[in-house]
């Protein structure tokens, strides 16, 4: 009996001791020592900018996919419009991740009471959303990014028009919020290094870009926005000089290297990668003796400039191979400290030129804006003044010269100035059909007379978002109905 009592007591003591000690440190122990729970908003903006650069100006989308569709570049040996489930999903995910980080920045900036940072993040979010809707068409936007706040697990797909309108609203909100005497943007602003005024100009320039794109579908709204911006230059300044360019410059020291360089750069000049220039780009430059040609492209080993041809021509032309096709120029593809071009001032001049030329806003001088656009683009590419002057007199370049209309000239010059902004260039080519691209990659040549209309919706979205509009028409993966603002007749 004595033994039993002692044992029972022992058990009770042991169990009691254990129960008391067992959960004492649990909460402290389960607090993550590896990651922060509160961070400065500016450093999250940095993440958003980097993710945006890496996807939009990385090799896969900028060179291989949109680069091919836009007529700028080509991937030789794989020169077809490639669709692979995994890669396709990751494009979509990266686009929405960058917007997520911008939204996160906005939330933190709000907590910090930093309106400038909020406005910068909102500008970036709208910028990426504009790219996304131009790539896919309908996207979830008004209900997107609200899982944490609202519990929305299946955000609905807005129409393209709705997305555009929300983007314009957001950009206006941001434009009105920037305060040059307000809170600083902090160390995470890798785009303008804390220069609020440049953000403001970028934001307003974007409003012009978005308005012009939608002007083919909703001219009235477009005109209203353009008038609002250009009519109030003090309140809504836009980019006007190459100093204002929204270019993210890479430090150039490993691992922070410019993405095109990472993929195709060669310090020894021995560029070998399959990524080359497109025939459409090279002919457009050759046609008008464009002094940017040697900047955009390298001579092939025989001292000529040739671009890679797509479509039916691809097979018949025995010179259409790696041996003869020009590499991409060093400024764009072979500089570890190069840039990711979110937007440049030249484009803003062309946006103005088009607005004036089409009378979307009154009081401007289209020719002047057009010449300024060309000048800014050439200067940016290191072309000297005499060469610029000469180029402006080329028959198909000079205002009112040659056989092409002034509007077509604006479109072409803008498209050339957008080199390395392939998603933007592709959208412009789809809106304007300038330059005209009839040659479609061989696998689809039988059925289509234009490059792809859109990116394929990702497989992941179809399985994870029950709001996916399954009635969206996708033909041969990349085609289907044209986007909202794509009013080209008789294209397929």
Partner 1 sequence: MKTNLKTVLTKRIFLFGIYLFIAGTVVAQNQTISGTVTDETGIPLLGVTVLNENSNEGAITDFDGKFSITANQNTNLIFRYVGYAEQTIAIGSRTTIDIVLQPDVQSLDEVVVTALGISREKQTLGYAVQELDGDQLTLTPEPNIINSLSGKIAGIQVNSGGSTVGSSARIVIRGNSSFSDNQPLFIVDGTPIDNSSPNLRGNGGVDWGNTAADIDPNTIESVSVLKGANASALYGSRAANGVIIITTKKGDGKNQKLGVDFSSSVVFDKPAYFPKLQNEYGGGRDGSEYFYNKYNQDNGTSLSYNEYAQQFAYNYVDGNGGGVNDGNPINWGPRLDAGLLLDQWSTGPNSPWESRPNNIKEWFNTGITIENNVSVTSNSEKASGRISFTNSETDGIINNTGLKENTLSANLGLTPSDRLSANVSFTYIKRESDNLPANGYSWADIFAWLQRDFPTQYAKDLFYEKGNEDYIFPNGNNPFYSLRNTNALDRERIFGNVSATYKITDWLSANARVGMDFYNEIRKSITQSGTSQNIRRGLGGQFTETHLYNKETNTDITLNFDQTFGNFRVDGLVGANKRTNLYNSVSVSAADLTVADLYTISNAKGTPGTSMFTNDYETNSVYFAANGSYKKFLYLGVTGRNDWSSTLPKENWSYFYPSVSLGLSVTDALALNSKFLSYAKLRGSWAKVGGDTGAYQLNKTYSAGTFNGVSVFTPTRTLPPTALQPEETTSYEIGTDMRFLNNRISLDFTYYAQTTVNQILSVATSTTTGYNGIRLNAGEIENKGIELMLSGEVISNPAGFNWDAVLNWATNKSIVNTLYGNLESYQISGGFGGVTTLGIPGEEWGVLWGLPFVKNEDGKTVVNSNGIPLTTNEAINLGNVTPDWTGGISNTFSYKGASVSFLIDAQIGGDMFSTTAWHSYPTGAYENTVQNGVRETGLIVDGVFEDGTPNDIRVSAQEYFNGSWMWNNHEYSILDASFVKLRELSLGYSFNVSKLKALSKLNVSLVGRNLAILYRSEGTKELGIDPEVGFGGGEAGIGYENFQIPTTRSFGFRLTAGF
Footprint of partner 1 on 101-120 (CB under 8 A): 101, 103-104
From 15-23, 58-66, 368-376, 420-428, give the range in contact with partner 1 by CB under 8 A: 15-23
Q: Residue 267, interface with partner 1 (CB under 8 A)?
A: yes
**If DSSP codes are grouped into helix, strand and coil, which group holds residue 398?**
coil
Partnered with residue 248 across adjacent β-strands are: 340
Q: Residue 480, interface with partner 1 (CB under 8 A)?
A: no
Residue 223 C-beta: closest distance to partner 1, Å: 31
* Closer of 267 and 490 to partner 1 (Cβ): 267
In sequence order, which residues have a C-beta less than 8 Å from that of residue 136 and are 6 or more positions away?
92, 454, 455, 457
Report the relative pairing of strands 479-480 and 157-158 from DSSP bridges: unpaired
Rg, Å, the chain Cα set: 26
* Closer of 92 and 127 to partner 1 (Cβ): 92
Footprint of partner 1 on 327-386 (CB under 8 A): none
Q: Residue 456, interface with partner 1 (CB under 8 A)?
A: yes
Hey, what are 307's tokens?
């671009």
Residue 273 C-beta: closest distance to partner 1, Å: 8
Residue 343 C-beta: closest distance to partner 1, Å: 21
From 10-18, 173-181, 233-241, 481-489, give the range in contact with partner 1 by CB under 8 A: 10-18
**If DSSP codes are grouped into helix, strand and coil, which group holds residue 146?**
coil
In the set 39, 319, 389, 436, which binds partner 1 (CB under 8 A)? 39
Q: Which helix (H) or strand (E) covers residue 437, if one does?
A: none
From 11-19, 58-66, 408-416, 421-429, give the range in contact with partner 1 by CB under 8 A: 11-19
Residue 234 C-beta: closest distance to partner 1, Å: 33
Partnered with residue 246 across adjacent β-strands are: 343
Q: Residue 447, interface with partner 1 (CB under 8 A)?
A: yes
From 16-24, 176-184, 239-247, 354-362, give the range in contact with partner 1 by CB under 8 A: 16-24
- The one-character DSSP state at 327 is P
Q: Residue 466, interface with partner 1 (CB under 8 A)?
A: yes
CA 164 from chain centre, in angstroms, equals 16
* Closer of 404 and 449 to partner 1 (Cβ): 449
Q: At what angle do helices 196-214 and 219-230 cross, to 10 degrees?
A: 150
How far apart CA 354 and CA 218 sit, in angstroms, is 15
In sequence order, which residues have a C-beta less than 8 Å from that of residue 267 and are 6 or more positions away?
none
Report the relative pairing of strands 275-277 and 339-343 from DSSP bridges: unpaired
In the set 111, 148, 169, 384, which binds partner 1 (CB under 8 A)? 148
* Closer of 129 and 205 to partner 1 (Cβ): 129
How far apart CA 168 and CA 170 sit, in angstroms, is 5
Its sign, for the CA torsion 68, 73, 78, 79, is: positive
Q: Residue 436, interface with partner 1 (CB under 8 A)?
A: no
Footprint of partner 1 on 290-309 (CB under 8 A): 301
Q: Residue 193, interface with partner 1 (CB under 8 A)?
A: no
Q: Residue 13, interface with partner 1 (CB under 8 A)?
A: no
Binding to partner 1 by CB under 8 A, coded x per residue (else -) over 61-90, reads ----------------xx-xxxxxxxxxx-
Q: Residue 59, interface with partner 1 (CB under 8 A)?
A: no
B/e letters for 381-413, b = 16+ CB within 10 Å, e = fewer, are bebeeeebeebbeeeebbbeeeeeebbbbbbbb
Q: Residue 139, interface with partner 1 (CB under 8 A)?
A: yes
How far apart CA 405 and CA 389 sit, in angstroms, is 20
* Closer of 312 and 364 to partner 1 (Cβ): 312
In the set 234, 446, 471, 490, which binds partner 1 (CB under 8 A)? 446
How far apart CA 239 and CA 198 sit, in angstroms, is 8
Give the number of other CB atoms < 10 A from CB of residue 489. 6
Residue 340 C-beta: closest distance to partner 1, Å: 12
From 247-255, 343-351, 355-363, 368-376, give the range in contact with partner 1 by CB under 8 A: 247-255
């Amino acid at each position: 009996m004595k033994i039993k009592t002692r044992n029972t007591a022992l058990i009770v003591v042991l169990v009691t001791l254990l129960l008391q000690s067992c959960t004492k440190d649990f909460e402290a122990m389960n607090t993550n020592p590896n990651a922060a729970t509160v961070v400065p908003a500016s450093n999250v903006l940095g993440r958003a900018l980097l993710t945006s650069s890496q996807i939009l100006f990385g090799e896969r989308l900028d060179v291989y996919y949109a680069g091919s569709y836009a007529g700028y570049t080509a991937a030789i040996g794989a020169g077809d419009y490639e669709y692979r489930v995994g890669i396709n999903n990751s494009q979509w995910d990266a686009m929405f991740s960058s917007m997520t980080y911008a939204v996160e920045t906005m939330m933190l900036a709000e907590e910090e009471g930093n309106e400038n940072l909020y406005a910068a993040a909102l500008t970036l979010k709208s910028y990426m959303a504009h790219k996304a809707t131009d790539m896919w068409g309908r996207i979830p936007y008004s209900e997107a990014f609200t899982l944490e706040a609202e519990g929305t697990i299946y955000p609905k797909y807005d129409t393209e028009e709705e997305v555009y309108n929300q983007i314009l609203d957001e950009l206006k909100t941001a434009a009105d919020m920037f305060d040059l005497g307000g809170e600083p943007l902090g160390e995470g602003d890798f785009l303008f290094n804390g220069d609020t005024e440049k953000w403001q100009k970028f934001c307003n320039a974007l409003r012009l870009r978005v308005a012009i794109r939608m002007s083919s579908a909703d001219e009235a709204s477009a005109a209203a926005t353009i008038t609002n911006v250009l009519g109030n230059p003090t309140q809504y300044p836009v980019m006007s000089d190459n100093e204002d360019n929204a270019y993210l410059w890479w430090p150039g020291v490993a691992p922070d290297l410019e993405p095109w360089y990472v993929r195709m750069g060669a310090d020894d000049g021995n560029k070998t990668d399959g990524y080359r220039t497109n025939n459409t780009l090279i002919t457009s430059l050759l046609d008008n003796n464009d002094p940017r040609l040697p900047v955009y492209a390298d001579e092939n080993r025989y001292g000529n400039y040739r671009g890679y041809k797509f479509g039916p021509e691809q097979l018949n032309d025995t010179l259409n191979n790696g041996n003869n096709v020009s590499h991409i120029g060093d400024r764009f593809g072979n500089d570890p400290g190069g840039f990711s071009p979110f937007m440049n001032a030249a484009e803003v001049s062309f946006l103005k030129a088009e607005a004036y030329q089409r009378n979307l806003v009154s009081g401007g001088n289209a020719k002047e804006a057009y010449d300024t656009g060309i000048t800014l683009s050439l200067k940016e590419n290191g072309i000297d003044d005499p060469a610029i002057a000469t180029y402006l007199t080329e028959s198909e370049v000079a205002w009112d010269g040659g056989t092409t209309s002034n509007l077509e000239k604006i479109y072409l010059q803008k498209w050339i100035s957008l080199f390395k902004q392939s998603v933007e260039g592709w959208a412009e080519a789809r809106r304007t059909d300038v330059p005209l691209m009839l040659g479609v990659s061989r696998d689809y040549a039988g059925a289509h007379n234009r490059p792809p209309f859109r990116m394929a919706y990702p497989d992941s979205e179809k399985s994870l978002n029950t709001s996916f509009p399954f009635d969206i028409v996708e033909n041969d993966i990349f085609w289907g109905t044209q986007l909202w603002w794509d009013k080209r007749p008789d294209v397929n």
